[in-house]
Amino acid sequence: MAEPIIEIKNIKRDFELGEEIIHVLKGIDLTINKGEYVALMGPSGSGKSTLMNILGCLDTPTSGSYILNGKLVSEMHDNELAEIRNKEIGFVFQTFNLMPRTTALDNVALPMVYAGHPKSERNERATEVLTQVGLADRMDHKPNQLSGGQRQRVAVGRALVNKPAMILADEPTGNLDSKTSLEIMNLFDEIHANGNTVILVTHEEDIAEHAHRIIRLRDGLIESDITNRKAK
């Protein structure tokens, strides 16, 4: 039987704009099982970025419950959320978010520093992950010595290094050309094939087609949730 990694029930998120309250998420129910590969889509203003921030424990809902890997995170405080982000979620961003004066090895090892692992263990695991993402020969290079695709591979390695419960990728090909985008998406396909849960936020249909399940948001609600039979 499939085991849920994400269980969201009636999640709402409101924002105050002056004296007006904007209802961005209007009652989201969502279950994602371990090992799934999901694309989250929606036009500007649909609520997908707000939902992504809640899924990534970067924001908390106004109401409703969110259970991540068996933990009720919707009621956690900032320090608890920071620990969850470090241990349970691997983030990949459009802009890479790498430390500019730091080598690929040390960039990848950074989450393990925050988690309190010793240096020898950090370097061993970071070397293993950089080899996995195809950068065994670039470990000592800094971001300005790497191409956009290589920088994103470093970011993917950093997301994997703490063996998180899920990978959350926000427009991971947004700054890449089409050839490099395909290479990065093939890497995500491999990561999923290795058993990782992958959640991909994108507005590009061809990128979403890599996912096995496509969820579309509109006006703060789930408009559709379909199995993608064309995925690999």
Domain ranges of the chain: 35-62+76-227
Nearest of 91, 101, 112, 89 to residue 155 by alpha carbon = 91
**CA 125 to the chain's CA centroid:** 20
**CA 155 to the chain's CA centroid:** 11
**Distance between CA 171 and CA 174 in Å, rounded?**
5
Look up residue 9 and give its two tokens: 């029930």
Beta-strand relationship, 4-17 and 71-72? unpaired
- At residue 5, the pLDDT reads 97
- At residue 59, the pLDDT reads 93
Q: List, edge to edge, every strand of the sheet that includes 4-17.
A: 20-33, 4-17, 63-68, 71-72
CATH number, domain 35-62+76-227, options 3.40.190.10, 3.80.30.20, 2.40.110.10, 3.40.50.300:
3.40.50.300
Q: Residue 26 in contact with residue 219, Cβ under 8 Å?
A: yes
Counting as low any pLDDT under 50, the low residues of the chain are none
- At residue 73, the pLDDT reads 95
- At residue 232, the pLDDT reads 63
What Rg value do the Cα atoms of the chain yield, rounded? 18
Q: Residue 28 in contact with residue 51, Cβ under 8 Å?
A: yes
Residue 126's identity, in one-letter code, is A
Q: Would you give the end-to-end CA distance of the chain in angstroms?
A: 22
Sequence-distant (6+) residues with CB within 8 A of 78 are: none
